[in-house]
Every structure is written in structure tokens, then in C-alpha cells.
A and B are shown apart, each in its own frame.
Chain A
Amino acid sequence: MPTLKINGQDVTVEKGTTIIRAAEQLGISIPHYCYHPGLSIAGNCRMCLVEVEKMPKPQISCHIQCQDGMVVQTESEKVKKLRQHVLEFLLVNHPLDCPVCDQAGECRLQDYYMEHGLYDSRVNENKVKKTAKAKPIGPTIMLDSERCILCSQCVRFTDEITKTGEFGIFNRGDHSEIGVGKELDNKYSGNVADICPVGALTDRDFRFKCRVWYLQKTESVCPGCARGCNITIEANLERPQHGSGERVMRLKPRFNDQVNDWWMCDEGRYGYKFIDHDRIHQPIMRIAGAVRQVEWDEIVDDFLKSFKKLKAKDEIAVLVSPQMTNEELYLAKRFFAKDLGIEQIYLVRNKLDGYQDDLLLRADKHPNRKGAEWIGFVEHDKQTNALLDKLGKQFKGLIIFGQDIVSLFPNRNVTDSLSNLELTAFIGSNYNLTSECVQYVFPAATYAEKNGTFTNFEDRVQRIRKAFPALGESKTESEILRIFADKLHFEWPYKTEEDVFNGLVRSVNLFQGLNYKKIGTGGIKIS
């Protein structure tokens, strides 16, 4: 375990640690472009040069390993001048695109210029011309090769992480240009826009949508599959005139070395449109041929009136979903099973199994199947089949938590079956074929509009956080169940989502000892 001095401070590190990592441990950040902890070391940008005593030339801190007794300077005059000059070199052929470049505000050329540059340009020559200006290189990424600083992060990403090898650096010298040998359409292509330190590779989906300094960022977890990649929801809440009123501008992955490292898949990254599109804004009632948008009081009262007419125990069925949070599933169990005595509660999927690989993608496209299992809900295809058979014949009432069973089971005549029921209710966030057939439609919030927890396929409990209020009149499933409970005079002690979680912890062994604080931003794995 070598001990070295960086800027006069001592630090002891594991053998093999590079200087840049050791500096991180001390809270000293060394500017860099080509270095990425998840990729191999390229050492070509030369921005991370530092002075090491007894070594004749400045050394790149991303590559040199710490030795016992090393003395490193990262802020000496010499190092500062070096950085200025490396920056100057990078900007010699860089186009003045800031006004039209999406990277502005999160661009390391801009940031380092303000921190380490602040010199006047001395370039009086024409810039070297490159060939690709605003060229789409695939469905998700736009290439501007003039902006590229040839750090080769994208090349290493497609070589080492996705192993698809799309990127290459062609030509040599200052005519070097980044490009692709085939279309960039692997399932993780969006990540290259994240790692590109400048605006050479930008996200087509996010293009020109919103300046990044208007974005409000909330830490959350992607609900797209059972892995639960850690993400940040980045929303534009103050300028609805940008992006035609959409709130979510983009999703970005958040580092978690236990779940997704620095990456997320394209399916999850671009699968946020449902948060702002096709949402059910207001409660809807479909009684006796008349479709009306109603207020909450009316629909709740009317629903509960019809509800009380049926025998809870075996005449009503409830479909809970592996997309629901632990808190919602706990409340659903408490309300339907415990307080009302309903026996027919089924866990039914909302999505078919999909593509899986050994990077991030999981076949199970629901975020909380494990959580549901721990709370006592397991999906059995046989049971689901039996349920679909009994629809309309044995049951009289069905409450659906968002599943589009009409589309999921196309050969089972679900529409007809639903019309034969006396009581049908849909609690979900987006319109689908099923929500169009039921009597009572309760608009629910999406994962971005609530607090809660999911348990991923590796037994990790992770928190989602509310990024903005629920759209229109929609409420979280948790709130809806609490309204029902309140109206039926059940004494529930829950005021916030955290209260619900604490209640869950008390009643389900596997969640023993957890609380929101402990789960934090990285989640906790239950052994």
C-alpha cells in the first residue's frame, strides 16, 4: 500500500492505483478528456499531465501508478501552463459552435477553459476541415466530427463494452477524424453521447430540446426491466414553451458499480415518452353507455357504492402488477387481502418477456417482480389462464392495476369478458385498449411522479424519487388506495410514502432493518 504526497497532502492507496485516482481520494480533481474509469487507458489527450518529483518530464496521471514516496504536484505554475497549452492546442481546430451545440453547459472544453484557460486566442490560420457536419450515424446519435477532440472514448466503448466496434479514427495527424465503419445501432448506443466530453456525439432525441442549465435533475431508477439501472430524470419544469410542454427532456445513467456501472440501455434511455404522452388526466366513468370525465369525489363514491354490492371474498378479482412499487404492493395487500378479505389477487405482467444479454438488459421488463414476490405475489401462468377463463362467468368484479390485458392476451376475447362483468376498474397512468373498456378509470402517477422502492432481480432494494407533481388530476396508486381506505373507514396510520415503507418493513421479514436513509442513492442488496 504505497503512500505518496499530492500537493503536500499524504494519501495511502492500493497497489496499482493511478495518480488520478489517488487524487480523487483526496478530493483533488485533475482535468482530463480521454480518461474514463470504465474504459482502458488511452493517455492521448495529455490534459491530466502533472509534475512528479524525480521524473524528468511531466507525466500523465491517468496512467502512472503510485509508488511509495512519490511527490506529485497538480497545481504548480508549470502544470497550470501545460494545461493552458493543451487546451489551446485542442481549440486550434475546434469550430465556434457553442451557440448551436447541445453540449453547451456540460462541455469539458467550456468548463476547463473557464477553470484553466482564460487566455486570448492566437489562431490566425484556417481550421482543418473535417467531413461530417451534423451527420446521423445511427438512429440515436448525431456526429459532428469537427468538434471531436479525438479522445477515443467512443472507440474504446464500442470495442470494449458493447464489443461491436462501430467507431474508428481515420486518417492521421490533424486530419484525423472520428467515424463509423457501419451504422451505430447497438442496444447501448446512447452511452456514447454521455461519454463524449464535447459535442461531437450528441443525442438525436435530445437535439435542440432544451439548454442543459434549465434542467432539473432527480435521482431515480429505470423501470424498464428487472435490473433497475440507476438514472437521473432530467426535466424542464420552468420553461414549458420549450419542448411543447413535455416535462422529461431526457434520462441519463447514474453510476452504480453494483448495478449498471456508468451505462444504461437504449430501451430504457429513450423509453420515457409515456410519462408525458397518452396520459389519463382525469378520472373517467363509463356507465350505461355514457362516457364522462369526472371529479375524484364522484368516481370514488360511485365506485365504492358498486363495490359494496359484491361479495369481496370470491366475487372480486384484483390484478396487481410487477411494475408497482413495494409500497403500493404492500398497501394493495393490506387493503384487498387483509382489510377486505379478497382472495382472488393475481400478479399479472404488463409486458411480454424481451431481449436479454450479459451486459444490462434483462428479459423480464418489469422493475419489481422480486419485490412483489417478497410481499407475497408470484405470477403463475396457469393461474392467469384460469382467471381469464373465469372472467364474466365466475367473477363479477375486476380491478386492474394498469395491465393492458386486452392486448396481452389477444386470443381470449377479453373485451367481451370485461363487458360481462358488473364492476370493472382500471388504475393506471396511460391509456391503453383495456382502459378504454372499463367502467371506472382512475388516473395514476408514473414512477417519475412518486417516491417508492423497487427490488431488482439481484435482491437490491432501490429508491425512486418524485421528480415533479403528477400530471393533471392523476394520483399515486398509494394515494388512491389510501383514499379508498379512508372512505371505508379503515384506520391507516400512513401519511407519507416513507410511512408506508416503514410499515412494510415491520410486516415483511425480508425488508427487515431497512429505511429510506439507509437505502440512499445506491440501494441496498439483501443477502
Chain B
Amino acid sequence: MPGLRINMEKLISRFFDLQDADTLSLYRKEGGYAAAKRALDLKPAAIEEEVKRSNLRGLGGAGFGCGMKWSFVPRNTGKPIYLVVNADEGEPGTFKDKYIMTYVPHLLLEGIIIASWAVGIHKAYIYIRGEYELPYLKLKAAVDEAYQAGLLGKNILGSSFDLDVVIHRGAGAYICGEETGLLESLEGKKGFPRLKPPFPAVVGLFGCPTVINNVETLSYLPFIVKSGGDWFAKLGSEKNGGLRLFSVSGHVENPGVYELSMGVTLREIIYQHAGGIRDGKKLKAVVPGGLSAAILTPNEIDVKMDFDSLKAIGSMGGSAGVIVMDETASMVEALRITMQFFAHESCGQCTPCREGTGWIYRILNRIVRGKGRLEDLDHLIDIGNYLGGTTICALADGAQMTFLSYLKKFRGEFEQFIRKSHLKENYANT
């Protein structure tokens, strides 16, 4: 069956070590674009069905079934359907899309072709975060190569299907990674997330039905077309199909991108793949799915790293950004930095998020500088309880989830920190 060579353990990441994998000539030698060509001979509905069977979930963070998302798009409104590729990769701890765009951009383009054919899309926008310079240059070169080789533009790959791709660079805002915030930014405005309903599948870019998919999600499509949805599903765990790229950073020996089964455990990621804790230190805490995910303690790391398993223990799969903290890390400081991020990136539309993230941050700042009081902790929990579940988008929900998890699982450390700072002050005053 034509398509990319399958290394069972490495589908996408195999290309990260392959020299010149970013060029069209090498990519084609490795079997690239054969799946796209095959897809154009299949019925779009068949492809959607295959993707549904694959249990491919949204790998940008939401974990929504990819095939299911496509099926929400109305095909007969008379309006053009758009594909928007979310390459904003803003969730802290996540850097895998950068690798795909830098080392094998053609894989993304092939995925875009397959998705566009399946849904009836003739125009795709790749929204890439503004800070990415090298990934952008590589992506742009790949798009130019693709146009020249008849892989994009009119009558692609010898078919009667037209597809245009435009790369749109962001300008520095985490909230533009949120689906509707991204759409607003793409339309030339501030990245203010929109009220839902209506959902982007029905009213999206320029008022037209729109599919928004993450870079990595699209990059798995060529493999699904080549080897089938069932095969892909089996690579993962129940209802969470395939492999995914885990971005591992923090206090590990070997930070980097690791392509592993959805069913892999957190313990395996840290100790088998990322080399364990650096300098022989002990694990203290892990953030499993990007900064917005609830933090996990060392006795929770046997959890499977798929969306459903992580949700079941009160955290989330998110963007698979694994941030590892050892015994030298201060949970108080870690939380302060976390909330500083959310306060800085809140778009400011909704009252709870705008005021809440800033307020929480200022209280944490005061605590870290030694002027905290024990009452602050319960007060913080009360504020945190109303931070999420009440806003237009999920930034505040993520901030709430991680915030409350720190205070719940490391309450003792916060109390000790505050008591110690009182002692210091008293001592200083004597």
C-alpha cells in the first residue's frame, strides 16, 4: 500500500532525525504525498469515516474527536468552507508543532490536503505564532515547493481539486491559540474569543463554516489514510487512537519531543524515555498536559496519558506538555509563575478571568515576597472557585483547574512557606 514508511514506534518523529526531511525531494523519496494522492481517489465521506474509526483526537489540547468535528460542518450552505490550521502553539510546555513545521513541513501539507478533500475545502490558512521564525521559513519554503510541484494550487496532484494555502503569522498572544480567538485574529482584530453558540463549524472564518485543526492532528492523517483507521486506533488506548508527540521539559535528564502511544503512562515517559530526574534528584510534581492541566503528585504518575484517563483523575491530556519538577522546585513559586502567565495572557473580555487572574497573581506575589497570611489560602480557593465555569472561553477554566490543584495537593507547602516568612519577618524585627 503506498504511503510513508511506517516505523511502528515513530510515525512523525522519525523525520526529526532525517536530514533534509524538510525538502520535497527527500519527503517524496520517503513515500510522501502518496497517501494524499490516494485520498483524492477515495470518497470524502469514506475518509471521514476512516478518521472517525481511528479515534484521532484533537491534539492541540481540546481532545475532541477529529472525525466528529468534521461531521459538524454543513456542506450545503453555499458558502465556502475554510480550514484553519492552529499552529499557534502557545500552551507553555508544548513545542512539538515547532518540530513538525521545522523538520517535516510537507507532512503537515499532506495532512492539509487530505482534510480539505474530506470536508470540501479549497482554502486553508495556517495561523503560526508570530515568535516562530525558523519554523515559518521552513513552512514557507515547503509551501512554495508544493505550489511549484503542483501539490497545491489548481488541479492538485493531477486531479480536478483546487486547494490554496496561506500562511498567516500571529503577533504575540496566547489567547490566539483558542479557536475563536484565532478566528478573530485571522480576521484582523484582537484575539477576543467569540460567544458560542454558534460554533466555528457552522459560523467560523468570515462567517463561513470552518474546520480548525491542530498541526499534529493533521500530520497523522497521511498515516491513517495509508494504513487505515482501525490500525491507528489500536496504536493508542480505548477511544484515544494512535500515538502522540509528548513535549517533555523541566527537571528531566533529556528534555525533548517523544512520540509514544496514547496509552503510555506518565511514569514511563519520565523514567523510560526522558532519562529520569536530572542529577539523580527525586520527583516532586508533574504537569501532564500543558500549563492549564491540574498538577500531579508522584503517586499519580501511573496514569495512562490519554485524554479520558487524565480527565478521570481530575487533570487533562491537553497539549501533552509534560513539565517535570523535582524536590528543588518551590510549589509556591511555580504557582506564582503559572498565574503570572494567565494574568498576562488573559484577553480581558470577561470579568472573572480579567480581574481574577490578576488578583490571584498579586496575592501570590505578596505571599512570595513574604507578606502572606494563612487566611490568604482559603481566600484564594474561594476566588479560584469562581474563576472558571463562568467565562466565554476556557483560559479561565484551565487557570482554575491548575490553580486549585496546587492548593489542594500542596497545601502544606503553602502554609509552611507563609509561616516561615512570618518567622523571618519577626526575626528581622527583633
Contact = CB atoms under 8 A, between A and B. Distances in A.
A93 B358 CA distance: 10
A54 to B, nearest CB: 15
Interface in B341-355: 343-352, 354-355
Interface in A151-179: 169, 171-176
B357 A173 contact: yes
Interface string A399-421: 00000000000000000000000
A125 B355 contact: no
B348 A89 contact: no
Contacts of B349: 42, 44, 150
A90 interface: yes
Given A172-B346, A174-B357, A174-B358, A85 B363 contact: no
B352 A86 contact: yes
Classify the secondary structure of A's interface with B. Answer: loop
B301 interface: no
B351 A173 contact: no
A63 B391 CA distance: 13
B195 A57 contact: no
B347 A86 contact: no
Contacts of A125: 359, 362-363, 366
Contacts of B190: 172
B352 A89 contact: yes
B351 A46 contact: yes
A43 interface: yes
A121 to B, nearest CB: 12
B392 A44 contact: yes
Given A90-B355, A173-B358, A46 B348 contact: no
Given A57-B390, A58-B390, A90-B351, A122 B379 contact: yes
Contacts of B357: 173-174
Given A125-B363, A174-B346, A47 B389 contact: no
B390 A49 contact: yes
A149 interface: yes
Contacts of A122: 379
Given A44-B349, A125-B366, A172-B348, A86 B354 contact: no
A240 B50 CA distance: 81
Contacts of B386: 81-82, 85-86, 89
Nearest to A122: B379
B351 A86 contact: yes
Interface string A79-108: 001100110011011000000000000000
Nearest to A58: B390
Interface of B is mostly: helix
A173 B354 contact: yes
Contacts of B222: none
Interface string A101-138: 00000000000000000000011111010000000000
Interface string B380-416: 0000001001111000000000000000000000000
Nearest to A128: B358
Interface in B6-46: none
A330 to B, nearest CB: 54
B203 to A, nearest CB: 14
B195 A89 contact: no
A85 B195 CA distance: 21
B359 A92 contact: yes
B248 interface: no
Contacts of A49: 390
Interface in B61-110: none
Contacts of A86: 351-352, 386, 390
B3 interface: no
A85 B346 CA distance: 18
A45 B351 contact: yes
B356 interface: yes
Given A171-B348, A172-B347, A174-B348, A150 B358 contact: no
Nearest to B386: A85
Closest 9 CB pairs of A and B: A174-B358, A176-B348, A89-B355, A85-B386, A125-B362, A173-B346, A44-B349, A172-B348, A43-B195
23 contacts: A42-B349, A44-B351, A46-B350, A46-B391, A47-B351, A60-B195, A82-B390, A85-B352, A85-B386, A86-B352, A86-B386, A89-B356, A89-B359, A89-B386, A92-B355, A92-B359, A125-B363, A150-B348, A172-B175, A173-B345, A173-B357, A174-B346, A175-B348
